[in-house]
Amino acid sequence: MLLALAFVTSAAAAPTVDMSKPPVLGPMRSLKLPSRSEWKLPNGLSVVLVTDRRAPLVTAYVAVQGGESAMHAEDAGLAEALAELLTDGTGNKTSKQIADASEFFGGSLSGEATPDAFVVRASALSDKAEAMFSLLSEVVRAPSFPAAEVALRRANMKEELAAARAESDFLAGVAFYKKVFAGHPYSVTAPTDDSIERITRDRVVAAHKRLFTPRGAVLLLVGDIDPARAKAAAHKHFGSWKGGAPAADAPPVPALKRERTVYLLDRPKSSQVSFFLGNIAAREDNPAYFDLLVLNGVLGGSFSSRLVRDIRETKGYTYSIGSRLEHRRTGSLIRIRTPVRTEVAGDALSAIFGHMKDVRGSDPTPEEVGQAKAYLSGSFARRMETQEGLAEAILHQKLLRLPADFYDAYVDRLEAVSPASVRKAAGVFLRPDEMTVVAVGDAAKIKDTLAKFTKKAVVSVGVDGD
């Protein structure tokens, strides 16, 4: 009885909370990142060290200039194959021995090709870091590209491409980048049947010889390692690496002035339409970048954004919709993606363009801007809490040649964004009348609807985006 009375008393005294309103946002807190040191080896390799003793781990990245944009269009997929084959054999080790070695030092080892670089990542327990450095150097500098592994990678790529083409989002993305980057090296994001056939051991070996050079490359070390040990490891394992000139940068992405164009890939009997739409936008070193970043948060870059609240929650046209900013070394874009039911495709597209018009025409509310800034600063802080997140941020800054203080001043620059500056950024960088729009769906049911969104004819494209 006494317990029940106490419960009633405390419940009656509890303050009433309006659950329909978000909590009041507190002030944003600046984030102090670990200090770093940088030096260059005589062969041109830049070394970056961030000592971080929060965990007994060391993460290392080797990033070599080039990547996907360094390949000719007819060699689409060659960069991907090269990067993945790096860990499939060297002059001294088979793929299994490499996998066993990385398991021994308690970490991982993998390669990937990005639009602007080849990146090889390794991690290890700090007391096994020497073994990791040795293996990392070996796969970067002396991969053997066994013919059997190349043939297996080629066969796997064929199967992966066939499986991917069953997904409307994949097809929409391939066509979108092909059109929005319009002939630029960044326009090629997937291989074709023909380009996979062209992947041979000779081509992989030649690409590695041409592109893998210490000049212009970065060795990034983050974790439980002191400067003396890091300098000794860099010199021992990478100091004798030799090579020619690095790959040239991709040319600047032109901010083309053009009318909105709608592209359609026909998928008969599809019950939904996959949309990708967007335009070239500001790089991260643009003075207005943080205004654009918050604009994206308000429009579609967070769960409380306008597109999500209206098109997903209120109208129920889709389960998934969002906008994002994507960055390459010489150009960036803003992109919106959503799959919607076929019968509401036109209404959904109208609503998306309506929200673009609204954010260009009037300031977002202080609450919307505050929520977007809080989401962005919180996401940034959580990302920097992990060794991998910190390392990837620094590598991004180095590869895209952003200012050295880009992340140190991140939160302060977010805090400076205002509703008026968001609207101004929308007027400059969000250009609905010039957007590239790609739709994948049943042409018989949606082509006439899509024609209402362009002054030109709807353009048909195939599975390779052409």
What tens digit of pLDDT does each residue of 353-408 get? 999 999 999 999 999 999 999 999 999 999 998 888 999 999 999 999 999 899 99
Judge whether 256 lies within some domain. no
Q: Give whole-number Cα distances, 12 to 5, 9, 158, in Å.
A: 10, 5, 66
The pLDDT tens digits of the residues spanning 316-354 come to: 999 999 999 999 999 999 999 999 999 999 999 999 999
Judge whether 89 lies within some domain. yes
280 and 221 in one domain? no
| Structure confidence at residue 54 (pLDDT) | 87
**Could you tell me which of 273, 324, 257 has the C-alpha nearest to residue 458?**
273
Query: Which residues, at least 6 apart from 23, have a Cβ–Cβ distance to it below 8 Å?
Result: none
**Could you tell me which of 322, 263, 329 has the C-alpha nearest to residue 461?**
263
Q: Where residue 255 falls among pLDDT bands split at 50, 70, 90?
A: confident
Which H or E run contains 113? strand 108-113
196 and 63 in one domain? yes
| Structure confidence at residue 9 (pLDDT) | 43
**Could you tell me which of 94, 123, 197 has the C-alpha nearest to residue 155?**
197
| pTM for the predicted model, two decimal places | 0.90
272 and 214 in one domain? no
156 and 295 in one domain? no
Structural domain containing residue 47: 37-238
CATH code for position 348: 3.30.830.10
Q: Where residue 15 falls among pLDDT bands split at 50, 70, 90?
A: low
431 and 352 in one domain? yes
| Structure confidence at residue 34 (pLDDT) | 83
Alpha carbon distance 348, 310 (integer Å): 10
Q: What is the mean pLDDT of residues 17-37?
A: 65
| Structure confidence at residue 8 (pLDDT) | 45
Judge whether 134 lies within some domain. yes
Judge whether 415 lies within some domain. yes
Report which residue type is found at 431: R
225 and 355 in one domain? no
Q: Is pLDDT at 441 greater than 90 in this prediction?
A: yes
CA angle (231, 237, 240) in 5-degree steps: 100
**Could you tell me which of 114, 118, 134, 54 has the C-alpha nearest to residue 86?**
118
272 and 233 in one domain? no
218 and 299 in one domain? no
Judge whether 18 lies within some domain. no
> What DSSP character marks residue 82?
H
From the number of C-beta atoms within 10 Å of its C-beta (0-12, 13-18, 19+), residue 56 rates as: middle
**Domain count of the fold of the chain:** 2
Judge whether 137 lies within some domain. yes
269 and 222 in one domain? no
230 and 265 in one domain? no
Q: Is pLDDT at 22 greater than 70 in this prediction?
A: no
112 and 80 in one domain? yes
324 and 220 in one domain? no
